[in-house]
Structure 1
Amino acid sequence: MSVPILAGALLALPGGAAAQELRSYTIIGDGIPQSLTDTAGDATRGRALVIERSSTCILCHSGPFPEQKFQGDLAPDLSGSGSRASEGQLRLRLVDASRLNAATIMPSFYRVDGLDRVVTPWRGKPILSAEQIEDIVAYLVSLRE
């Protein structure tokens, strides 16, 4: 299933970061097997994003982040995530976890269509850029048990 999201727009993310246009992707089974950027992400940048509270990951998830005193306990521990899920499965969970579980409380980090109750500064903007998604995927894949 190919999912075109939004074409031809340059999006400004809150906080001043600019994202390139949203790219289309193909869901196969329970994952998105191809990179959103056609390049591998950077695991070091991905880790920094995961532990940054504004990305929201650590608000719900815990993991191998000894420097972070307060970690979430609403969602699965990210330790060993690379052993439990493939790169494509992790990518779909970040892009739009609601495709796998309509009742999830996990945000759709790379989706702008069909969302209700989005505050004005975020309307039409993804939470993360395609590059950020790939960086986080690279980091999560590296977490092996």
Structure 2
Amino acid sequence: MKIMIVEDEALLALELEMEVEAAGHEVVGTAASRCAALEIVDQTGPQFAFVDVHLSDGPSGIDIGRHLASTGIPFVFVTGNVKRIPDDFAGAIGAIEKPYTMNGLQNALTYLTARVSGLQPSTPPPGLILAE
């Protein structure tokens, strides 16, 4: 799966990228701001995205999420404050709360990959909050 990462903390973005690639996926771009994220969407057409809510240019992750939802790209928010996510989750499948463990992230990625592929995985792993 071609995955985009929207995260303004460089170390977290790098760790997430390494985990995504270790799981056999391709990271098509990493963005720290709204403009950079929209450019990656237009240029690479990701199949999935991890989106931080608060970026270097403010709480623009919600805007990015709404754009992804409008183009049919599934995504999850990755955030330290799930209360910042709107009630409708801005079209996200769900959210992963920071700080997360690498094992928790791997389990979430396995679940999300199955779900995006059209399978109906049973129970979401702990640490993955699904939108209603």
Alignment TM-score > 0.5, same fold: no
Q: Which has the higher contact order (CA 8 A, sep 6+)?
A: 1
- Looking at secondary structure, tell me which structure has more helix per residue: 2
Normalized per residue, which structure has more strand?
2
